[in-house]
Structure formats: C-alpha cells, structure tokens
Amino acid sequence: MHYGIDIAMPKGAPVGATMGGKVVYAGFGQKGSGYGGYGNVVVVKDSAGRLHQYSHLDSIGVKVGQTVGNGAVIGKAGSTGRSTGPHLDYIVKNSKGNYLNPTSFITGKNTLKTSQGIQRAEGTKAPTAYANNWKTKEAPKSSSFKSYLGHLNTAVSSGLVPRQWAIPLTELVGRESSWNPSAKNPKSTARGYGQFLNQTVSQYAKKTGLNYNNPVHQLAMMAQYVKDRYGSPEKALQFWDKNKWY
C-alpha cells in the first residue's frame, strides 16, 4: 500500500513546503528510523501536529529544529533510496499517525483571495462578518487590505493561523492597524498588524521562533497571543469593544 503521492520532478528541482512548520527530521532514511528506503527525507510538523514527509530528495536544504514557511524550499528533488527515477514522494499524517490525503494540501482550493473569499472560507460564519459596527466593512477601501489578504492566506495555508479565525482576526487587525504591517503608534513602541509592544515582540519571538518583521509571522504571533490571552479572537473582540484595545 502506498499512502503518499508521487510527483514527477526533474533532478535538482526545488521542493517547497506545502505548509509551514518545524523541521522534525532531515537526513537519509536509515533502516529502523521509520524512513528506511525513502532516501533523503525532510519531515515538517505543522501547527496542527500533522507530519508532512518529503522523500527521495537529491539534497536537503534545512536542519532539524528549523522553522520553515509555506513555500520555503526544503530541498531538491531526486531519486535517492528505493526509487526508479527522479520524483517527490509526498506523505501526510495527522497527529495520531493516521495517513491523510496529501492532495488536499497542494490543490490550493481554499485560497482566500478577496474579502468575500474570507466570508466563504471553510469554518467561518459569514452572516455576522460585516456587521455595521465592524471595521471590516471598510476593508475594500483600504490600500493595504489586498496585500494583507495575501499574508493571511499564507498564514492560514501554512497552518500558522486557524482557518476558522480568518474573519474575527481580520476584524481585530483592522481595528489595531487598518491591515498595515508597517503601522506604528507614535505614543508607544506598538507596531505591525497586531500592534505588539517591543516586550511582546521579544516574548513571542522567543515562544514561536518567528520573526515579527515578517508580515506573515506577525499574524501567526498575533494568533498565538490571542490564543494565550483570550482563547479565541471572538473573545478578544469582546474585550476590545469594552476597552478599545486587546
């Protein structure tokens, strides 16, 4: 039984991570390692605990413990291990070790392309997304919103931000920074999508291993902060309604 998908690729072609996460294995699959016969292997663990395995690589470009983003090159395609020609063997397992259909992670069918696309995103609740008192209704007029959507899509598809958080997190970002990753508060050190103070930037950079100068990472770090402090962006918004900050 073959649980992955074989993708024909020429030797040396760059292999990009389908989802961001932490590299938990990077090396030649020795017998007894669980990766015997797969040749050069890289395994990335995403935020949901899923393992993304890239096998038969000609070369490896990452190290164990390294954090990689969606699309980051983790190696080059090849034919190492038990293989009859250059290709990529891509396998995905969930946190319980069960095999998942790998094609659902490479089709891009859930891309969030527009503000309406966020409404239609799987797991979100569109009817209340653009209530009259929500700043998100102003999104189409914002010069920075289009680029924000690109960053959000990358963060969601990388597993750094839960898809069901797309709408409320977008509202929270709008209230804090009008979807501008370069926004700065002239009265404090608050900056970025989430208006993190310097001390918060340092704290969550250490906790997540991410770089706040990266807009996608800003969203990921903001999501982690919201999870730690409030449990969900909806509760963070409720707090914001009363205090005008979160």
Q: What is the largest CA-CA distance in the chain?
A: 63
Helix axes 233-243, 215-229, angle to 10 degrees: 80
Q: Does the annotation mark 217 as catalytic?
A: no
Cα separations in angstroms, 101 against 9, 51, 112, 170:
20, 12, 21, 29
Among residues 52, 87, 151, 217, which one is catalytic? 87
Describe the crossing of helices 215-229 and 145-157 by its angle, rounded to 10 degrees: 70
CB contact at 8 A, 40 and 79: no
By three-state DSSP, how is residue 48 classified?
A: coil
Dihedral sign computed on CA atoms, order 229, 165, 97, 12: negative
The two structure tokens encoding residue 27: 């090396």
Catalytic residues: 87
